Amino acid sequence: MLFNVVSSSGIDKQALSINTEGNIGIGTTNPSAILDINSPISTQGRYSSQKWSAGNPGYSLTLQTIWNNSGINQEFIQRYNGIDYTSLAFFQGKIGIGTTKPDEKLTVNGKIHAQEVRIDLAYPMTVPDYVFANDYKLKSLQEVEEFIKQNSHLPEVPSAKEIEKNGLMLAEMNMSLLKKIEELTLYSIEQNKEIQKQNNKILILEEKVKKIESTKL
């Protein structure tokens, strides 16, 4: 079933179609989904294919199709108080929020509010529990001190300049910080052992002093 309209130039144009499967098509005579909307594009440019509004010209949501040298991509444009904002973009298989050209599967230009974030570690990244292995070579505190003096940051932790240039890789940074916490725990354990040795020596010396003082009496 086809529904046509007459354009301002007097030419019949197909506006709506319904096939035998009950699918509805707009701009297509053979809809392949429950609602199939086809916006023919003949040349490169930006086209508004769908628009949702509540009757107020200052508020609307428009789906735009962009055809340029990067390919054919889509953006949802939100109009708020008469100003257009790109709220969601699809670019070469990537999704962008607040950006028109996402460079990862999901790129967000702004803050993210969530109850929890789960990160799957990418191979070959591992949880640094190997720090507790007997054959792990823990740097001495003197070596760490020398490194800090020369580089102004912890070993195996990116510097401020590197983070400013490359961004902060959350999984890598968390593993690096966990490694430093585990190493710090080992340092604390060793220091505690040394303190215990010192205390034992002090106790022995105190006992010796007591014996000497008792013999003088």
CA 93 to chain centre: 17
Residues 7, 11, 16: CA angle, nearest 5 degrees: 65
Joined together, the tokens standing for residue 208 give 């010796």
Residue 6 has pLDDT above 60, yes or no: no
Instruction: With cut-offs at 50, 70 and 90, classify the pLDDT of residue 10.
Output: low
Question: What is the per-residue pLDDT across 134-189, written as a single tens digit (0 to 9) for each?
Answer: 999 999 999 999 999 999 999 999 999 999 999 999 999 999 999 999 999 999 99
Q: In Å, what is the CA distance from 212 to each residue of 56, 68, 198, 204?
A: 98, 95, 21, 12
